[in-house]
Copies of this chain bind each other. A is one copy, B any other.
Protein backbone atom coordinates (compact mmCIF):
# COMPACT_ATOMS: atom_id res chain seq x y z
CA UNK A 1 0.00 0.00 0.00
CA UNK A 2 1.52 3.33 -1.05
CA UNK A 3 1.13 5.88 1.72
CA UNK A 4 1.93 9.59 1.84
CA UNK A 5 2.00 12.14 4.65
CA UNK A 6 1.17 15.77 4.13
CA UNK A 7 2.71 17.80 6.94
CA UNK A 8 5.29 15.39 8.29
CA UNK A 9 7.53 17.74 10.25
CA UNK A 10 5.37 18.29 13.34
CA UNK A 11 5.21 15.96 16.29
CA UNK A 12 2.23 13.94 15.05
CA UNK A 13 3.87 13.76 11.62
CA UNK A 14 7.04 12.46 13.24
CA UNK A 15 5.12 9.85 15.16
CA UNK A 16 3.36 8.73 11.96
CA UNK A 17 6.76 8.37 10.32
CA UNK A 18 8.06 6.31 13.23
CA UNK A 19 5.09 3.94 12.91
CA UNK A 20 4.76 3.79 9.13
CA UNK A 21 8.45 3.28 8.39
CA UNK A 22 8.16 -0.07 10.17
CA UNK A 23 4.58 -1.05 9.27
CA UNK A 24 4.77 -4.35 7.36
CA UNK A 25 2.13 -3.41 4.78
CA UNK A 26 3.11 0.19 4.14
CA UNK A 27 5.40 1.65 1.52
CA UNK A 28 5.97 5.23 2.57
CA UNK A 29 6.29 7.14 -0.70
CA UNK A 30 6.27 10.79 0.23
CA UNK A 31 6.41 13.04 3.29
CA UNK A 32 5.92 16.75 2.77
CA UNK A 33 6.87 19.83 4.76
CA UNK A 34 6.61 23.46 3.78
CA UNK A 35 9.22 24.55 6.27
CA UNK A 36 11.75 21.73 5.95
CA UNK A 37 11.52 20.85 2.24
CA UNK A 38 14.73 19.18 1.13
CA UNK A 39 15.95 18.42 4.65
CA UNK A 40 16.61 14.91 5.90
CA UNK A 41 13.77 13.59 8.05
CA UNK A 42 16.24 12.79 10.80
CA UNK A 43 17.34 16.41 11.18
CA UNK A 44 13.86 17.26 12.38
CA UNK A 45 13.05 13.90 13.98
CA UNK A 46 16.39 12.89 15.46
CA UNK A 47 15.03 9.54 16.64
CA UNK A 48 14.80 8.47 12.98
CA UNK A 49 18.54 8.86 12.35
CA UNK A 50 19.89 5.60 11.10
CA UNK A 51 16.43 4.38 10.11
CA UNK A 52 15.82 6.27 6.88
CA UNK A 53 17.55 8.57 4.45
CA UNK A 54 14.30 10.08 3.16
CA UNK A 55 14.00 13.82 2.83
CA UNK A 56 11.00 16.09 3.19
CA UNK A 57 9.37 16.84 -0.15
CA UNK A 58 7.71 20.07 -1.03
CA UNK A 59 4.04 20.52 -0.21
CA UNK A 60 2.62 19.51 -3.63
CA UNK A 61 -0.83 17.96 -3.42
CA UNK A 62 -0.69 16.65 -6.99
CA UNK A 63 2.52 14.77 -6.33
CA UNK A 64 1.03 13.27 -3.21
CA UNK A 65 -2.11 12.13 -5.02
CA UNK A 66 -0.04 10.60 -7.76
CA UNK A 67 2.21 8.60 -5.48
CA UNK A 68 -0.25 7.49 -2.78
CA UNK A 69 -3.21 5.22 -2.29
CA UNK A 70 -3.82 6.57 1.18
CA UNK A 71 -2.82 9.93 2.59
CA UNK A 72 -2.40 11.14 6.15
CA UNK A 73 -2.78 14.88 6.67
CA UNK A 74 -1.14 16.15 9.84
CA UNK A 75 -1.44 19.91 9.65
CA UNK A 76 -2.58 22.77 11.87
CA UNK A 77 -6.33 23.26 12.07
CA UNK A 78 -7.82 25.18 9.17
CA UNK A 79 -5.27 23.95 6.64
CA UNK A 80 -6.31 20.58 5.23
CA UNK A 81 -9.82 21.83 4.45
CA UNK A 82 -8.26 23.98 1.75
CA UNK A 83 -7.07 21.09 -0.38
CA UNK A 84 -9.27 18.24 0.83
CA UNK A 85 -11.60 18.53 -2.19
CA UNK A 86 -8.60 17.88 -4.42
CA UNK A 87 -7.59 14.77 -2.42
CA UNK A 88 -11.14 13.43 -2.60
CA UNK A 89 -11.32 14.11 -6.30
CA UNK A 90 -7.94 12.42 -6.72
CA UNK A 91 -9.42 9.18 -5.48
CA UNK A 92 -7.10 8.59 -2.54
CA UNK A 93 -8.25 7.50 0.87
CA UNK A 94 -7.62 10.14 3.54
CA UNK A 95 -7.01 10.12 7.27
CA UNK A 96 -7.03 13.67 8.56
CA UNK A 97 -5.46 14.29 11.97
CA UNK A 98 -6.62 17.90 12.26
CA UNK A 99 -9.94 19.22 13.53
CA UNK A 100 -11.14 20.18 10.06
CA UNK A 101 -13.47 17.24 9.50
CA UNK A 102 -14.30 16.04 13.00
CA UNK A 103 -17.56 17.87 13.50
CA UNK A 104 -20.67 16.77 11.63
CA UNK A 105 -22.53 20.06 11.95
CA UNK A 106 -21.07 22.96 9.92
CA UNK A 107 -22.49 25.41 12.47
CA UNK A 108 -20.40 23.81 15.19
CA UNK A 109 -17.30 25.15 13.40
CA UNK A 110 -18.63 28.66 13.89
CA UNK A 111 -19.14 28.08 17.61
CA UNK A 112 -15.92 26.26 18.41
CA UNK A 113 -13.49 27.43 15.75
CA UNK A 114 -14.91 30.78 14.74
CA UNK A 115 -15.05 30.23 10.98
CA UNK A 116 -17.47 29.13 8.32
CA UNK A 117 -16.45 25.74 6.96
CA UNK A 118 -15.43 26.04 3.29
CA UNK A 119 -16.55 22.57 2.22
CA UNK A 120 -19.46 21.57 4.49
CA UNK A 121 -20.60 18.98 1.92
CA UNK A 122 -17.52 16.89 2.79
CA UNK A 123 -18.25 16.76 6.50
CA UNK A 124 -20.77 13.94 6.23
CA UNK A 125 -18.38 11.82 4.18
CA UNK A 126 -15.91 11.74 7.05
CA UNK A 127 -16.15 9.24 9.89
CA UNK A 128 -15.03 10.23 13.39
CA UNK A 129 -11.98 8.03 13.78
CA UNK A 130 -12.46 6.60 17.24
CA UNK A 131 -12.52 2.79 16.77
CA UNK A 132 -13.98 2.21 20.23
CA UNK A 133 -17.15 4.03 19.12
CA UNK A 134 -17.17 3.75 15.33
CA UNK A 135 -15.27 0.61 14.36
CA UNK A 136 -17.73 -0.59 11.73
CA UNK A 137 -18.09 2.79 10.07
CA UNK A 138 -14.32 3.18 9.92
CA UNK A 139 -13.98 -0.21 8.26
CA UNK A 140 -16.13 0.97 5.39
CA UNK A 141 -14.85 4.52 5.21
CA UNK A 142 -12.64 6.27 2.70
CA UNK A 143 -12.36 9.41 4.78
CA UNK A 144 -11.62 9.46 8.47
CA UNK A 145 -11.00 12.36 10.85
CA UNK A 146 -9.16 11.26 13.98
CA UNK A 147 -10.14 12.75 17.34
CA UNK A 148 -8.34 15.49 19.21
CA UNK A 149 -6.27 14.03 22.00
CA UNK A 150 -7.99 15.94 24.80
CA UNK A 151 -11.34 15.01 23.37
CA UNK A 152 -10.45 11.35 22.98
CA UNK A 153 -9.33 10.92 26.58
CA UNK A 154 -12.49 12.64 27.80
CA UNK A 155 -14.84 10.66 25.56
CA UNK A 156 -13.30 7.34 26.56
CA UNK A 157 -13.57 8.20 30.27
CA UNK A 158 -17.19 9.32 30.04
CA UNK A 159 -18.82 7.22 27.32
CA UNK A 160 -19.71 4.15 29.42
CA UNK A 161 -21.33 6.33 32.10
CA UNK A 162 -23.30 8.32 29.57
CA UNK A 163 -24.40 5.25 27.69
CA UNK A 164 -25.43 3.49 30.89
CA UNK A 165 -27.76 6.37 31.70
CA UNK A 166 -26.57 6.81 35.25
CA UNK A 167 -25.13 10.34 35.32
CA UNK A 168 -26.44 13.87 34.97
CA UNK A 169 -25.80 14.87 31.37
CA UNK A 170 -25.67 18.62 31.86
CA UNK A 171 -23.02 18.75 34.55
CA UNK A 172 -20.14 16.62 33.31
CA UNK A 173 -16.74 17.98 34.29
CA UNK A 174 -13.51 17.06 32.49
CA UNK A 175 -10.35 18.31 34.16
CA UNK A 176 -7.48 17.49 31.83
CA UNK A 177 -3.70 17.41 32.39
CA UNK A 178 -1.56 17.43 29.29
CA UNK A 179 2.11 17.29 28.31
CA UNK A 180 3.86 19.89 26.22
CA UNK A 181 3.96 17.91 22.99
CA UNK A 182 0.24 18.55 22.56
CA UNK A 183 1.16 22.17 21.85
CA UNK A 184 3.24 21.21 18.83
CA UNK A 185 6.78 21.79 17.65
CA UNK A 186 6.81 25.57 17.19
CA UNK A 187 8.63 27.50 19.88
CA UNK A 188 7.03 30.45 21.67
CA UNK A 189 7.26 32.10 25.05
CA UNK A 190 4.46 29.74 26.19
CA UNK A 191 6.68 26.74 25.51
CA UNK A 192 10.01 28.30 26.51
CA UNK A 193 11.58 25.72 28.83
CA UNK A 194 12.31 28.12 31.68
CA UNK A 195 8.67 29.28 31.66
CA UNK A 196 7.06 25.90 30.97
CA UNK A 197 9.06 23.72 33.38
CA UNK A 198 7.23 22.82 36.57
CA UNK A 199 3.95 24.49 35.67
CA UNK A 200 0.40 23.46 36.33
CA UNK A 201 -0.96 25.97 33.88
CA UNK A 202 -4.66 26.34 33.14
CA UNK A 203 -5.07 26.63 29.39
CA UNK A 204 -8.33 27.74 27.76
CA UNK A 205 -10.19 26.88 30.96
CA UNK A 206 -13.58 27.48 29.38
CA UNK A 207 -14.83 26.99 25.81
CA UNK A 208 -11.92 24.75 24.82
CA UNK A 209 -12.36 23.80 21.16
CA UNK A 210 -12.38 20.07 21.78
CA UNK A 211 -15.59 20.48 23.77
CA UNK A 212 -17.51 20.44 20.50
CA UNK A 213 -16.41 16.98 19.48
CA UNK A 214 -16.80 15.57 22.99
CA UNK A 215 -20.40 16.75 23.14
CA UNK A 216 -21.08 15.51 19.59
CA UNK A 217 -19.88 12.03 20.41
CA UNK A 218 -21.45 11.71 23.86
CA UNK A 219 -24.75 13.12 22.64
CA UNK A 220 -24.61 10.62 19.80
CA UNK A 221 -24.55 7.77 22.29
CA UNK A 222 -27.83 8.70 23.90
CA UNK A 223 -29.63 10.94 21.46
CA UNK A 224 -29.78 13.72 24.02
CA UNK A 225 -27.90 16.93 24.57
CA UNK A 226 -24.84 16.50 26.73
CA UNK A 227 -22.91 19.36 28.22
CA UNK A 228 -19.24 19.01 29.18
CA UNK A 229 -17.32 21.53 31.25
CA UNK A 230 -13.73 20.98 30.13
CA UNK A 231 -10.60 22.60 31.58
CA UNK A 232 -7.13 21.53 30.40
CA UNK A 233 -3.88 22.24 32.24
CA UNK A 234 -0.34 22.04 30.92
CA UNK A 235 1.79 19.96 33.30
CA UNK A 236 5.47 19.12 33.60
CA UNK A 237 5.92 16.36 31.04
CA UNK A 238 6.30 16.01 27.29
CA UNK A 239 4.00 13.12 26.38
CA UNK A 240 0.76 12.08 27.97
CA UNK A 241 -2.75 13.15 28.87
CA UNK A 242 -4.91 12.33 31.81
CA UNK A 243 -8.54 13.31 31.66
CA UNK A 244 -10.18 13.22 35.07
CA UNK A 245 -13.95 13.31 34.70
CA UNK A 246 -16.34 14.12 37.49
CA UNK A 247 -19.95 12.97 36.87
CA UNK A 248 -22.81 13.36 39.31
CA UNK A 249 -25.02 10.32 39.63
CA UNK A 250 -28.60 10.48 38.39
CA UNK A 251 -29.41 7.18 40.05
CA UNK A 252 -27.93 5.06 42.77
CA UNK A 253 -25.33 2.59 41.56
CA UNK A 254 -22.70 0.30 43.02
CA UNK A 255 -19.21 -0.56 41.92
CA UNK A 256 -20.37 -3.74 40.12
CA UNK A 257 -22.69 -1.58 38.00
CA UNK A 258 -19.76 0.59 37.04
CA UNK A 259 -17.59 -2.40 36.19
CA UNK A 260 -20.42 -3.69 34.01
CA UNK A 261 -20.76 -0.40 32.16
CA UNK A 262 -17.05 -0.17 31.44
CA UNK A 263 -16.64 -3.86 30.59
CA UNK A 264 -19.60 -3.84 28.23
CA UNK A 265 -18.07 -1.01 26.25
CA UNK A 266 -14.37 -1.87 26.35
CA UNK A 267 -14.17 -5.54 27.30
CA UNK A 268 -13.02 -6.61 23.85
CA UNK A 269 -11.08 -3.54 22.84
CA UNK A 270 -7.50 -4.40 21.88
CA UNK A 271 -6.12 -1.08 23.10
CA UNK A 272 -8.22 -0.26 26.16
CA UNK A 273 -7.02 -1.49 29.54
CA UNK A 274 -9.41 -1.16 32.46
CA UNK A 275 -7.53 -0.19 35.60
CA UNK A 276 -9.00 -0.05 39.04
CA UNK A 277 -6.58 -2.06 41.10
CA UNK A 278 -6.78 -2.50 44.85
CA UNK A 279 -3.09 -3.38 45.16
CA UNK A 280 0.20 -1.99 44.01
CA UNK A 281 1.42 1.41 42.99
CA UNK A 282 -0.61 1.98 39.84
CA UNK A 283 -4.25 1.68 40.92
CA UNK A 284 -5.75 4.12 38.45
CA UNK A 285 -4.75 5.24 34.98
CA UNK A 286 -1.62 7.38 34.79
CA UNK A 287 0.00 8.60 31.56
CA UNK A 288 3.35 7.32 32.81
CA UNK A 289 2.09 3.77 32.20
CA UNK A 290 1.23 4.20 28.52
CA UNK A 291 4.18 6.18 27.13
CA UNK A 292 5.23 4.90 23.73
CA UNK A 293 2.20 2.65 23.29
CA UNK A 294 -1.26 2.77 21.75
CA UNK A 295 -3.01 1.88 25.00
CA UNK A 296 -5.83 3.91 26.49
CA UNK A 297 -5.99 3.16 30.19
CA UNK A 298 -9.46 3.74 31.60
CA UNK A 299 -10.54 3.55 35.23
CA UNK A 300 -13.11 4.85 37.68
CA UNK A 301 -14.06 5.25 41.32
CA UNK A 302 -17.38 5.68 43.06
CA UNK A 303 -17.84 8.53 45.52
CA UNK A 304 -20.75 7.69 47.76
CA UNK A 305 -20.26 10.85 49.83
CA UNK A 306 -20.55 13.36 47.01
CA UNK A 307 -22.74 11.10 44.82
CA UNK A 308 -20.27 11.20 42.02
CA UNK A 309 -18.22 8.94 39.76
CA UNK A 310 -14.65 9.96 39.06
CA UNK A 311 -13.43 8.38 35.84
CA UNK A 312 -10.03 8.57 34.20
CA UNK A 313 -8.47 8.01 30.84
CA UNK A 314 -4.71 8.16 30.24
CA UNK A 315 -3.17 8.09 26.77
CA UNK A 316 0.09 8.95 25.07
CA UNK A 317 -1.17 11.99 23.18
CA UNK A 318 1.10 11.38 20.19
CA UNK A 319 0.26 7.67 19.96
CA UNK A 320 -3.32 6.70 20.89
CA UNK A 321 -4.08 10.41 20.98
CA UNK A 322 -2.98 10.97 17.37
CA UNK A 323 -0.69 8.87 15.16
CA UNK A 324 -1.43 5.53 16.80
CA UNK A 325 -5.17 5.84 16.37
CA UNK A 326 -4.63 7.10 12.83
CA UNK A 327 -2.71 3.91 12.00
CA UNK A 328 -5.35 1.85 13.82
CA UNK A 329 -7.96 3.46 11.54
CA UNK A 330 -5.81 2.75 8.49
CA UNK A 331 -5.59 -0.90 9.50
CA UNK A 332 -9.38 -1.04 9.80
CA UNK A 333 -9.97 0.77 6.49
CA UNK A 334 -7.62 -1.53 4.62
CA UNK A 335 -8.67 -4.76 6.27
CA UNK A 336 -5.38 -5.39 8.06
CA UNK A 337 -5.10 -6.72 11.58
CA UNK A 338 -6.22 -3.80 13.73
CA UNK A 339 -3.11 -3.89 15.91
CA UNK A 340 -0.55 -4.19 13.10
CA UNK A 341 2.44 -1.94 13.66
CA UNK A 342 1.10 -0.84 17.02
CA UNK A 343 2.21 -3.69 19.27
CA UNK A 344 5.15 -2.02 21.04
CA UNK A 345 4.55 -2.16 24.80
CA UNK A 346 4.83 1.01 26.87
CA UNK A 347 8.15 1.85 28.51
CA UNK A 348 8.57 1.56 32.26
CA UNK A 349 10.03 3.33 34.06
CA UNK A 350 10.45 6.39 31.89
Question: Is A25 on the interface with B (CB-CB < 8 A)?
Answer: no
The minimal Cβ–Cβ distance linking A36 to chain B, given in whole angstroms, is 10
**Chain B neighbourhood of A46, CB < 8 A:** 280-282, 289, 348
Q: Which of A299-344 contact B (CB under 8 A)?
A: 301-308, 310, 312, 314, 343-344
The minimal Cβ–Cβ distance linking A41 to chain B, given in whole angstroms, is 11
A189-B187 contact given A211-B305, A347-B291, CB 8 Å threshold: yes
Number of this chain's copies in the assembly equals 4
Assembled-state Cα–Cα distance A211/B308 (Å): 14
**Chain B neighbourhood of A279, CB < 8 A:** 43
Question: Is A263 on the interface with B (CB-CB < 8 A)?
Answer: no
Find out whether the CB atom of A194 lies under 8 angstroms from the CB atom of B185: yes
The minimal Cβ–Cβ distance linking A257 to chain B, given in whole angstroms, is 16
Question: Is A251 on the interface with B (CB-CB < 8 A)?
Answer: no
Stretch from A72-80, A99-107, A239-247 forming part of the interface with B: A239-247
A246-B194 contact given A47-B348, A291-B347, A347-B292, CB 8 Å threshold: no
Of B49, B205, B227, which one neighbours A289 at CB under 8 angstroms?
B49
Assembled-state Cα–Cα distance A191/B180 (Å): 13
**Chain B neighbourhood of A280, CB < 8 A:** 43-44, 46
**Contacts A46-B280, A189-B281, A193-B196 known; 4 new A-B pairs at CB < 8 A:** A177-B177, A229-B246, A231-B244, A238-B349
